Amino acid sequence: MGINQGPISLDQKYTQSTGHVFLTGIQALVRLPMAQIRRDHAAGLNTAGFISGYRGSPLGGYDQQLFAARKHLEQYNIKFQPGVNEDLAATAIWGSQQLNLSPGAKYDGVVGIWYGKGPGVDRCGDV
pTM: 0.86
Residues constituting the chain: 127
Residue 12 lies in a domain: no
- Those residues with Cβ within 8 angstroms of residue 23's Cβ, 6 or more apart along the chain or in another chain: 13, 31
| Residue 122: pLDDT band with limits 50, 70, 90 | low
Residue 7 lies in a domain: no
Q: Would you state the pLDDT for residue 1?
A: 46
Residue 15 lies in a domain: no
The pLDDT tens digits for 99-121 are 888 888 899 999 999 988 776 66
Residue 30 lies in a domain: yes
Structural domain tally of the chain? 1
Could you tell me where the DSSP H helices lie in 4-117?
A: 12-15, 25-42, 62-68, 70-75, 86-96
The range of the structural domain enclosing residue 30 comes to: 22-121
Under 8 Å between Cβ of 93 and 52: yes
Residue 86 lies in a domain: yes
More confident residue, 36 or 86: 36
Residue 3 lies in a domain: no
Residue 4 lies in a domain: no
Sign of CA dihedral 18, 20, 23, 29: positive
CB-count exposure of residue 49 (10 Å: 0-12, 13-18, 19+): buried
Torsion of CA 55, 59, 65, 71, to 10 degrees: -70
Residue 27 lies in a domain: yes
The pLDDT tens digits for 43-102 are 999 999 999 998 877 777 899 999 999 999 999 999 999 988 888 898 899 999 998 888
Write down the mean pLDDT value for the chain: 87
| Degrees, nearest 5: CA angle 56-32-38 | 145
